[in-house]
Chain A
Amino acid sequence: MTFPQFALGALTLLPLLGAAAAVVLPHPARRITGVVTAVVIALLTVPVLVTVTSGELPELVLGGFDAPLGIHLRGDGLAAVFLGVTSLVGLILTGYAAILPKSTGTFLSATAWVPGHPGFWPLWLGCWSGLNAVYLSGDLFNLYVALELVGLTAVALVALGGRKSWEPALRYLFVAVLGSLLFLAGVGLLASVTGTLDLQQTREALGGLEDPTPALLALTLMTIGLGMKVALLPMHRWLVPAHSSAPSVVSPILSGLVLKAALVVLLRCWLWAVPVLAGAEWLTWLLGGLGTAAVLAGSVLALRQDRLKPLVAYSTIAQIGYWFLAFPLLLPGENDDAELASGAYGAVVALAAGHAIAKAGLFTAAGFLKDRCGTDEIAALRGAGAHHPTLILAMGLCAVGLLGLPISLGFTGKWQLATAAVGAEHWWLFLVLAAGTLLSAGYLLRGIAPLLMQAEVDDNTPAANPVTVRERTGELAVLLLGVATLATGLLGAWVSTMLEVGSWW
Chain B
Amino acid sequence: MISLIDVVLGLGVLAVTGLSLIPRSRLVMTLGFLVLGVLIALVWLRLDSLDVALAEAAIGTGLLSGLMVWLAVRSPLPPGAGAMETSPRIPWLRPVVGTAAGVSLTLVLAAVWLRAEHRLPEWRDAAEAQLPDTGVEHQITGVLLAFRAYDTLLESGILMLTAAAVLALSRDGGLSAEGSHRLGVHQIAAPMPPVPSALSWAARLLAPALVLLGLWLLFAGSTDSGGAFQSGAVLAAALILLRASQVDLSGFTAYWLRPLLVVGVVVFICAGLIGPVLGLPWLSWEPEWAFAAVLSVEVLLTAGITAGLYTLFLALENPEGVR
Query: A140-166 vs B: 1/0 string, CB under 8 Å?
Result: 011001101100110110011001000
Q: Given A108-B319, A194-B119, are A159 and B169 also a contact pair (CB < 8 Å)?
A: yes
Q: Is A241's beta carbon under 8 Å from chain B?
A: no
Tell me, in angstroms, the Cα distance from A13 to B258 when the chains sit together: 20
Which residues from B are CB-within-8-Å of A19? 157, 160-161, 164
Question: Among the listed stretches B24-32, B52-60, B144-152, B207-215, which one makes contact with chain A, having 4 or more residues with CB under 8 Å of it?
Answer: B144-152
Question: Among the listed stretches B95-103, B228-236, B242-250, B281-289, which one makes contact with chain A, having 4 or more residues with CB under 8 Å of it?
Answer: B281-289
- Secondary structure of the B contact surface, majority rule: helix
Q: Is the CB of A156 within 8 A of B165?
A: yes
Tell me the chain A residues, 325-361 only, with Cβ under 8 Å from chain B: none
Tell me the chain B residues, 268-322 only, with Cβ under 8 Å from chain A: 269, 272-273, 275-276, 279-285, 319-320
User: How distant is B234 from chain A, measured CB to nearest CB, in Å?
Assistant: 24
Tell me the chain A residues, 55-71 only, with Cβ under 8 Å from chain B: 60-66, 68-71
Residues of chain A at interface, number, CB under 8 A: 69
Q: Is the CB of A20 within 8 A of B168?
A: no
Q: Is B126's beta carbon under 8 Å from chain A?
A: yes
Which residues from B are CB-within-8-Å of A5? 281
Which residues from A are CB-within-8-Å of B171? 107-110
Which residues from A are CB-within-8-Å of B130? 65, 69
Which residues from B are CB-within-8-Å of A153? 161, 165
Q: Is B123's beta carbon under 8 Å from chain A?
A: yes
Residues of chain B at interface, number, CB under 8 A: 62
Q: Is B167's beta carbon under 8 Å from chain A?
A: yes
Q: Is the CB of B161 within 8 A of A142?
A: no
Which residues from B are CB-within-8-Å of A122? 161, 164, 168
User: How distant is A408 from chain B, measured CB to nearest CB, in Å?
Assistant: 34
Tell me, in angstroms, the Cα distance from A160 to B319 when the chains sit together: 13
Q: Is A192's beta carbon under 8 Å from chain B?
A: yes
Query: B154-198 vs A: 1/0 string, CB under 8 Å?
Result: 110110111011011101111110000000001000000000000
Query: B101-142 vs A: 1/0 string, CB under 8 Å?
Result: 000000011001101111111110011001000000000000
Tell me, in angstroms, the Cα distance from A237 to B211 when the chains sit together: 46
Q: Is the CB of A118 within 8 A of B175?
A: yes
User: How distant is B287 from chain A, measured CB to nearest CB, in Å?
Assistant: 11
Partner of B174, one of A61, A118, A149, A201: A118
Q: Is the CB of A1 within 8 A of B165?
A: no
Q: Is B241's beta carbon under 8 Å from chain A?
A: no
15 residue pairs of the A-B complex, CB under 8 angstroms, read A12-B154, A16-B269, A24-B258, A62-B282, A62-B284, A63-B282, A118-B173, A119-B167, A123-B164, A142-B154, A152-B158, A156-B169, A191-B121, A205-B119, A211-B117
Q: For the complex of A and B, list the 7 residue pairs with the smallest distance between their C-beta atoms, beginning with the closest.
A: A119-B168, A9-B282, A156-B165, A107-B173, A195-B119, A20-B262, A214-B116
Chain A residues with CB under 8 Å of chain B are 1, 5-6, 8-10, 12-13, 16-17, 19-21, 23-24, 26-27, 60-66, 68-71, 107-110, 117-120, 122-123, 126, 129-130, 133, 141-142, 145-146, 148-149, 152-153, 155-156, 159-160, 163, 189, 191-196, 201, 205, 209, 211, 213-214, 217
Chain B residues with CB under 8 Å of chain A are 108-109, 112-113, 115-123, 126-127, 130, 146-151, 153-155, 157-158, 160-162, 164-165, 167-169, 171-176, 186, 258-259, 261-262, 265-266, 269, 272-273, 275-276, 279-285, 319-320
